[in-house]
Structure 1
Amino acid sequence: MIRNAILIFCLLVGRPTTAQVRWDLATCIAFAQKNNIQVNTQRYNQQTAQQNYYLSKSAQLPSLSGSATQYFQKHLNIGSYTLNTALTLYEGGYLQKDIRQKQLSLEAANQNVMATENDITLNIIQYYLTILLDKETAVYQQNVVNTSKAQLEQGEQKLAVGSVARKNVTQLRSQLANDEYSLISAENTIKQDLLSLKQLLQLPTEVQFEIATPDTIISKSEVPSLAAVQEYALNNRPEVKENQLQIQVAQLGLAKAKAGYYPTLSVSGTIGSSYFNDISGLGNGFYKQAGISLSVPIFSKRQNKTNIENAKINIGQAQINLNDTKTTLAANIEKYYLNAINAQSQFTAAEQAFKYNEEVYNIANQELALGVSNMVEYLQQKELYVQALQQFIQAKYNAALTIKVYEFFYNQQ
Structure 2
Amino acid sequence: MIKRKISIGGLLLTCLFTAQANGNWTLQDCIDHALQHNIQIQKNRLSEKTSQQTTAESKAALLPSLSASLSEAVAYRPFQKQGGSFVNGSVTSSTSNNTIANGNYGVNASWTIWNGNQNRNTIKSSQISEQIASLQTQQTANSIQEQIAQLYVQILYTQEAVKTNEKLLENDEQLLRRGQELLRNGKATQADVAQLQAQVDNGKYDVVNSRTQIASYKMQLRQLLQLSDTVDFNIQTPEALDSQLINYIPTIDNVYQAALVSRPEIKSSQLAIEQSDLDVKIAKGAYSPTISLTAGLSDSHMTGTGQNIGNQLRDNFDGQIGVNISIPIFDNRKRKTTLEKAKINQLSSQLDLKDNQLNLRNTIESYWLEATNNKQKYEASKSQVKSQRTSYELVSEQFKEGKQNIAQVLESRTSLLSAEQTMLQSQYTTLLNITLLKFYQNEKLSF
Per the shorter chain, which TM-score range? 0.7 to 0.9
SS in 2 for 1:61: coil
Between 237-246 and 288-297, the greater mean CA deviation after superposition: 288-297
**Kept in 2: contact 1:354–1:388 (CA 8 A):** yes
Q: CA deviation at 1:245?
A: 0.5
Q: Which runs of 5+ in 1 are unaligned?
A: 13-18
Give the equivalent residue in structure 2 for 1:338: 369
Between 207-216 and 331-340, the greater mean CA deviation after superposition: 207-216
Q: CA deviation at 1:148?
A: 1.9
Instruction: Say whether residues 1:59 and 2:61 are aligned partners.
Output: yes
**Kept in 1: contact 2:399–2:409 (CA 8 A):** yes
Between 381-390 and 267-276, the greater mean CA deviation after superposition: 267-276
Which of 403, 407, 426 matches 1:376? Answer: 407
Instruction: Say whether residues 1:227 and 2:253 are aligned partners.
Output: yes
Between 295-304 and 395-404, the greater mean CA deviation after superposition: 295-304
Give the equivalent residue in structure 1 for 2:85: none
Whole-angstrom CA distance in 1 between matches of 2:132 and 2:422: 44
SS in 2 for 1:284: helix
Q: CA deviation at 1:63?
A: 0.6
Matching of residues 81-100 of structure 1 within 5 Å: 81-100=105-124
SS in 1 for 2:313: strand
**1:5 to 1:27, Cα distance in 2 relative to 1, 3 A:** farther
Whole-angstrom CA distance in 2 between matches of 1:6 and 1:117: 20
Between 355-364 and 339-348, the greater mean CA deviation after superposition: 355-364
**Kept in 1: contact 2:16–2:29 (CA 8 A):** no
**Kept in 1: contact 2:381–2:423 (CA 8 A):** yes
Q: CA deviation at 1:231?
A: 0.9
Between 167-176 and 254-263, the greater mean CA deviation after superposition: 167-176
1:65-121 Cα distance to aligned partner (Å, 9 max, x none): 111223457875533332211111111211111100111111112112211221222
Which of 358, 375, 378 matches 1:327? Answer: 358
Instruction: Say whether residues 1:177 and 2:206 are aligned partners.
Output: no
Q: CA deviation at 1:294?
A: 1.8
Give the equivalent residue in structure 2 for 1:253: 279
Give the equivalent residue in structure 1 for 2:94: none
Instruction: Say whether residues 1:309 and 2:335 are aligned partners.
Output: no
**Kept in 1: contact 2:370–2:429 (CA 8 A):** no
Give the equivalent residue in structure 1 for 2:49: 47
Matching of residues 342-381 of structure 1 within 5 Å: 342-381=373-412
Q: CA deviation at 1:289?
A: 1.8
Whole-angstrom CA distance in 2 between matches of 1:163 and 1:215: 50
- Structure number, greater radius of gyration: 2
Give the equivalent residue in structure 1 for 2:6: none
Give the equivalent residue in structure 1 for 2:168: 144
**Kept in 2: contact 1:93–1:259 (CA 8 A):** yes
Between 21-30 and 50-59, the greater mean CA deviation after superposition: 21-30
Give the equivalent residue in structure 2 for 1:400: 431
Whole-angstrom CA distance in 2 between matches of 1:6 and 1:102: 39
Give the equivalent residue in structure 1 for 2:235: 211
Give the equivalent residue in structure 2 for 1:101: 125
Whole-angstrom CA distance in 2 between matches of 1:226 and 1:209: 36
CA root-mean-square deviation: 3.0
SS in 1 for 2:245: coil
Letter of the aligned partner of 2:324 in structure 1?
A: S
**TM-score of the two chains, using structure 1 as the length reference:** 0.88
Q: CA deviation at 1:158?
A: 5.5
Letter of the aligned partner of 1:64 in structure 2?
A: L
Q: Which runs of 5+ in 2 are unaligned?
A: 1-8, 76-96
SS in 2 for 1:298: coil
Matching of residues 101-180 of structure 1 within 5 Å: 101-157=125-181, 162=185, 164-167=187-190, 168-180=192-204
SS in 2 for 1:48: helix
**Kept in 2: contact 1:22–1:209 (CA 8 A):** yes
**Kept in 2: contact 1:220–1:399 (CA 8 A):** no
Instruction: Say whether residues 1:293 and 2:324 are aligned partners.
Output: yes
**1:7 to 1:84, Cα distance in 2 relative to 1, 3 A:** farther
1:122-171 Cα distance to aligned partner (Å, 9 max, x none): 112111111111111011111111122233334445655x3743545444
1:329-355 Cα distance to aligned partner (Å, 9 max, x none): 112211221111111111111112112
Letter of the aligned partner of 2:136 in structure 1?
A: N
Which of 258, 261, 275 matches 2:301? Answer: 275
Whole-angstrom CA distance in 1 between matches of 2:330 and 2:212: 73
**1:64 to 1:49, Cα distance in 2 relative to 1, 3 A:** same
Letter of the aligned partner of 2:265 in structure 1?
A: E
Q: CA deviation at 1:222?
A: 0.9
SS in 1 for 2:441: helix
Letter of the aligned partner of 2:51 in structure 1?
A: A
1:223-257 Cα distance to aligned partner (Å, 9 max, x none): 01111111111222111111110111110011111
**Kept in 1: contact 2:182–2:402 (CA 8 A):** no
Q: CA deviation at 1:6?
A: 12
Whole-angstrom CA distance in 1 between matches of 2:14 and 2:350: 40
Give the equivalent residue in structure 2 for 1:240: 266
Letter of the aligned partner of 1:189 in structure 2?
A: Q
Whole-angstrom CA distance in 2 between matches of 1:79 and 1:170: 105
Whole-angstrom CA distance in 2 between matches of 1:300 and 1:145: 82
**Kept in 2: contact 1:87–1:268 (CA 8 A):** yes
Which of 291, 296, 312 matches 1:265? Answer: 291
SS in 1 for 2:330: coil
Using the aligned pairs only, state the percent identity: 30
Whole-angstrom CA distance in 2 between matches of 1:192 and 1:388: 25
Whole-angstrom CA distance in 2 between matches of 1:93 and 1:279: 51
Q: CA deviation at 1:209?
A: 4.2
